[in-house]
Chain A
Amino acid sequence: MNMLAIPDIDWGSIGPELSLIGTAVAVLFLDLFIRQKSKESLGYFTVLGMVIALAFMLLEIIGVSRPFGGMIVIDGFTCFFTVLVLGVAILVTLMSIHALRDEEMDAGGYHVLVLLATVGMLLMVKGMDLIIIFLGLETLSVAVYVLAGYRKWTNQSAEAAFKYFLLGAFAAAFLLYGIALVYGATGTTNLEGIARYIEATGLGTNSLLLVGVGLLLVGLGFKISLVPFHSWTPDVYEGAPTAITAFMAVGVKAAAFAALVRVFGGGLLALDFQWKDVLWVLAVLTMTFGNVVALSQTNIKRMLAYSSIAHAGYILVGVIAGGELGWSAVLYYLLAYACMNLGAFGVVLFYGQKAEANVEIPDYAGVGFKYPFLGAAMAVFLFSLAGIPPLAGFVGKFYVFSAAIKSGYIWLTIIGVMNSLISVFYYFRVTVIMYMKEPVKDVALEYAGPIMAVLIIALVGTIQIGLFPTFYLERAVDSIKWLLT
């Protein structure tokens, strides 16, 4: 009698996810029994769960394995992104603790949703099958839709959640449709299978496959907020709680880029002559649009939203350049971007105070000299985002652009550096306000432990991986080597 072959379940390979889910369930229960006053402990408990997940990941890097019938893959690439995503999740949780208390938001549900969103990201990162990637993306999205609307008593937050949900649902449908078409053309959803099939049949011009690939790009491009799929970004970033904005700008983007590199650099590599030109155009549009529109923003969250669009454009340059140098540049850039952007959002969150009262750029007048540490930290993050050496952002850009030049994309690089020049204007403008204007508002800051820890970690990271990038560059290159085999 023929039994359905059920693949062995390799529990260890999904250890991080399991420990996150376990933590989420535990937080849900604990939430019932903990008094309102000590809800902060839930945050620390969540962080503990994430650290355990991190430990699971670090324990099992021993080589490439493809458990669950090749649906997921554990390799250096997975490891790099898992560490990155978990690191982001830890910092975001720490950052949220005092905001949750100040705003009297429901801490339990919040932490559970962050945990589940992180599970989704981890799945996206290790998905070797389009189905798993879709599954991860949806798990992540549903949690983040709710989180975006977590300050539901404000109109902006409600708008953010609704807008993100509607547009996100569309994008997910595009992605799913794309998967269906790719399946129709190749007969498989497994990335390796797709790659083999394209190689064997030379399907480079099959229109069914190409339309499918285009739709995949739309679906992933939405999460990365590539122009022209970006229109949700500013409103959602502005309306969502600041910590969640940081989570979306850094964590979601990293996971989506991981999937993009896996799908386009892995499964669809043989088609690169088809998609590279498209990505070229998208990269130019994304960089230019993000930077030019950021120039005229007055709300700092909105400005950082547009800046994150622009950064997605730079990262895309690395994807286009491809190869060992290009993709490791993507990885390194995402790491650098995570440090500096989390730091910048951390300052925005901290200085924003209760009910996000100080998120307009003019509110920052005089911060530099009034709060020397906060001002200096923000200045470092902004300079790094602007690409001033020797900070992380500079090395990231340097690495991405050198990959582009190596692959012969000189014009793309010139457009990129000119964009970087535009961005200097709006990043420096914030430092102008902070250091060269007199204070207009009296903001009394109360230093809180967790958020200070986040700022210090981000600050040290931004400086350290900028000054001594060797270790991180080597990890990035190693991760890519495993992807290429």
Chain B
Amino acid sequence: MDYPVLSYVIFLPLIGVVLLLFLDREKEKLLKGITLVVTLVEFFLSLPLAFNFQAEMAGMQFTEYVDWIPTLGIAYRVGLDGISLWLVLLTTFLSVIAVLACWEDITLHVKEFLICLLLLETGMVGVFVALDVFLFYVFWEVMLVPMYFLIGVWGNPARRIYAAIKFVLFTLVGSLLMLVAILYIYFYHHSVTGQYTFDLLSWYTLSLPHSAQLWLFMAFGLAFAIKVPMFPFHTWLPDAHTEAPTVGSVILAAVLLKMGTYGFLRFNLPLFPETSVDFVPVISILAIIGIIYGALVAMVQADVKRLVAFSSVSHLGFVMLGLFTFNLQGIQGGIIQMINHGLSTGALFLIVGMIYERRHTRMIAEFGGLSRVMPIYATFFMIVTLSSIGLPGLNGFIGEFLILLGTFRTNVVYAVFAATGVILAAVYMLWMFQRVMFGEVTNPKNEGLSDLTKREVAVLLPIVVFIIWIGIYPKPFLKPMEATVSGLIQRVEQRVEIRNTSAPGALRIKNWKALDLPREQGGQG
């Protein structure tokens, strides 16, 4: 690429913000139109990233470097690899959807809403492409503010403020401790190399001492685990998701949660490989608790939105389980499952939002028999539900299958327990779907409901296209991440080997590698 495509993608929304600032707040249609154009242009700007991506390269691509605060070794370093590629595209894709989805939903303080949305997009893209740890931290925190306003101002009046503050405080607990850890590594890097830098790629070359790794892993891990969220740090999520406006929930579920899992991949695994391997049992067990607990709690929810929120806890448990298998299938499955969850849970929140706009309630008991009244709605809802429970042929299956395959190779017991999560997902989703969509129309208020408008179809259709595409032919999505993921696994393996040959017996890591299946056979699912 002969132009700084990543910078364009990061900063274009900010230009949109400046435009919006100078426009009359009364002209709501114009404001929304401009935001839509900005996000569309943004999406098309980000497409070349996928087309020009060198799939066989394990390292960073599209890298850019500009000095920022040279006295402290801070620079504007961005780049993209197989891990972040799809996350960036998911972000730009869902931002377009988000603007379309808020078209009629948001009527209050439209200008500020759109500004928050665009700021959020800059923050999200920035997090995924930052290669300077300081820059990463800045984007990571910057994103908090617009999300806080989205929940707090446009959320559900009853508990929005509680949810917004809880979201901010939970996120900050983790990230502030992560800041301490970042500073520690920064000075450790200086003491080893004599160079002050926040360059993540040169941090990768560090071999941190075992005792420090433990604390650093926990500090970074806490920040990311809260964001994911992993059991037992998940309690902010149901509140934030349920109280946020539809668009807020979509972005929260689809992109913000991925920052946690992305953080583990980008920081914890490569920076602290030995400790990451040590932590496999802890993370895996917490992930499995999350999978089963999330599913069980989802089952008993009376509110559809809360049900979807808890299903996220369950799905993200799968992702975490996959990432900590340290084999190609597991990690690839984890990454593709991040995208899948973004698509299907995003779509579920949109679908719930659409019925909420019509009925101003989300209680399962209020509905029933909607499929007769709203057939198009029912079709979309069905496809997305099936995608969420992992029906073969749709995207959810690919992710869960790869994750379970990867887990099976390292630990059969984990795989067995995790697989029950798939069954439970079918129980809570299908049961909910049945109660809402099938049967007689028992509530007279549901009789006159109008089916989806063209705009609403336009919102859901692109998502469904990807749901089916990934489900049937996932290769173009899996291929670009292969080299990067293999590189990551290699690095971890090397470092563990080094420790096993040099460290005293107690510190050796045994039996962590996959069962001896030849790696090629695991294949692409």
Contacts and interface: CB of A to CB of B under 8 A. Distances in A.
Interface of A: 369, 383, 388-390, 394, 398-399, 401-402, 405-406, 410, 413-414, 417-418, 420-421, 424-425, 428-429, 432, 435-436, 469-470, 473-474, 477
Given A369-B109, A369-B112, A417-B177, A432 B141 contact: no
Contact of B180 (A410, A469, A474, A477): A410
Nearest to A436: B152
B373 interface: no
Contacts of A369: 109, 112
B71 A474 contact: yes
B179 interface: yes
Nearest to B140: A389
A58 B176 CA distance: 39
Interface stretch (B181-189, B360-368, B499-507): B181-189
Interface in B121-150: 134, 137-138, 141-142, 144-145, 148-149
A406 B187 contact: yes
Given A402-B183, A417-B176, A421-B173, 6 more contacts: A402-B72, A406-B187, A420-B176, A421-B172, A425-B169, A435-B152
3 smallest beta-carbon distances between A and B, as pairs: A417-B176, A389-B138, A405-B183
A474 B71 CA distance: 7
A414 B183 CA distance: 11
B114 to A, nearest CB: 14
24 contacts: A369-B109, A388-B142, A389-B137, A389-B141, A398-B179, A401-B183, A402-B186, A402-B187, A405-B187, A410-B180, A414-B177, A414-B180, A417-B180, A420-B176, A425-B169, A432-B161, A432-B165, A436-B152, A436-B161, A436-B164, A470-B69, A470-B71, A473-B69, A473-B72
A188 B184 CA distance: 42
A151 to B, nearest CB: 34
Contacts of B200: none
B518 interface: no
B354 interface: no
Contacts of B148: 428
A424 B164 CA distance: 12
B306 interface: no
Interface string B158-179: 0011001100110011001101
Contacts of B70: 470
Contacts of A405: 180, 183-184, 187
Contacts of A474: 71
Contacts of B112: 369
Given A405-B187, A469-B69, A477-B71, A432 B152 contact: yes
Q: How large is the interface on B (under 10, 10 to 19, 20 to 34, 35 or more residues)?
A: 20 to 34
Given A402-B186, A410-B180, A425 B109 contact: no
Interface string B89-129: 00000000000000000000100100000000000000000
Nearest to A398: B179
B187 A436 contact: no
Nearest to A401: B183
A1 B83 CA distance: 88
Contacts of A383: 145
Contacts of A414: 177, 180
Nearest to A417: B176
Contacts of A424: 168-169, 172
B183 A413 contact: yes
B58 interface: no
A437 B148 CA distance: 14
A473 B68 CA distance: 12
B138 A390 contact: yes
B196 to A, nearest CB: 10
B47 interface: no
Contacts of B141: 388-389, 394
Contacts of B72: 399, 402, 473
A90 B161 CA distance: 39
A398 B164 CA distance: 25
Contacts of A406: 187
Contact of A428 (B134, B137, B168, B184): B168
A418 B71 contact: no
Contacts of B161: 432, 436
B176 A473 contact: no
Contact of A388 (B144, B177, B186): B144
Contacts of B176: 417-418, 420-421
A413 B160 CA distance: 32
B336 to A, nearest CB: 31
Interface centre among B153, B160, B161, B180 (most CB of A within 10 A): B180
A435 to B, nearest CB: 5
B69 A389 contact: no
B507 to A, nearest CB: 23
A167 B143 CA distance: 45
Interface string B6-17: 000000000000
Contacts of A428: 148, 165, 168
B180 A401 contact: yes
Nearest to A388: B141
A399 B179 CA distance: 11
A401 to B, nearest CB: 6
Contacts of B153: 435-436
A390 B134 CA distance: 10
Contacts of B172: 421, 424
A389 B184 CA distance: 19
A469 B74 CA distance: 11
B149 A435 contact: yes
A405 B177 CA distance: 13
A470 B165 CA distance: 33
Contacts of A418: 176
Interface string B44-82: 000000000000000000000000111110000000000
Interface centre among A383, A389, A473 (most CB of B within 10 A): A389
Contacts of A429: 165
Contacts of B177: 414, 417
A115 to B, nearest CB: 36
A413 B184 CA distance: 11
Nearest to A437: B161
A394 B140 CA distance: 13
A390 B137 CA distance: 10
A399 B73 CA distance: 13
A435 B152 CA distance: 8
Contacts of A417: 176-177, 179-180
Nearest to A411: B180
